[in-house]
Amino acid sequence: MVRVRRQGCTPLSCLIGILLFVLIGACVGGVLFGVTGLIRNSDVVQEALARAERDPQVVAALGTPLEVGWLTLGSIETSNGGGSADLNVPISGPRGSGAMLVEAVRREGVWQYRRLIVTVGDRRIDVLRER
């Protein structure tokens, strides 16, 4: 009698593999969700969003209220009242969506914006421009 060796995993090893995959994915997702939430709710992002909502060109393009999306990229560093922020923040409003480029420096606890540009399609709106 010829014995055929079965290839693949046993039900128990497959179950353990799937559970490990799900557990690792949940941990990574939780960390990303937490970090993204901290950035979205940071004072530099919230102030930039408020400035964008006061800009007539941004309001015309996206409407109000504006909301911050989930895939915020970049970094915020702060220490002893100083720091810096370099972010690309997805935003949306009732009329559409875009992205907000934020470059800021923090001195003595106050954010000073170097660049605050909202991009909607091919259009770039400089929120810090002279009006």
Distance (Å, rounded) from C-alpha 17 to C-alpha 36?
28
Q: What is the pLDDT of residue 34?
A: 65
Establish if 20 belongs to a structural domain. no
Q: What is the pLDDT of residue 131?
A: 60
Beta strands in 10-108 (DSSP E): 67-68, 73-79, 82-93, 96-107
Q: What is the pLDDT of residue 105?
A: 95
Establish if 58 belongs to a structural domain. yes
**pLDDT in single tens digits along all 131 residues of the chain:** 667 666 777 878 888 888 888 888 888 877 766 666 677 778 899 999 999 999 999 999 999 999 999 888 888 888 888 899 999 999 999 999 999 999 999 998 899 999 999 999 999 999 998 66
Establish if 94 belongs to a structural domain. yes
Establish if 31 belongs to a structural domain. no
Q: What is the pLDDT of residue 35?
A: 66
> Under a CB-based contact definition with an 8 Å cutoff, are residues 75 and 101 in contact?
no
Establish if 15 belongs to a structural domain. no
What CATH number does the domain containing 61 carry?
Answer: 3.10.450
What residue numbers bound the domain in which 78 lies? 41-126
Establish if 109 belongs to a structural domain. yes
Total domains in the chain come to: 1
CA distances from 18 to 11, 23, 29 (A): 11, 9, 16
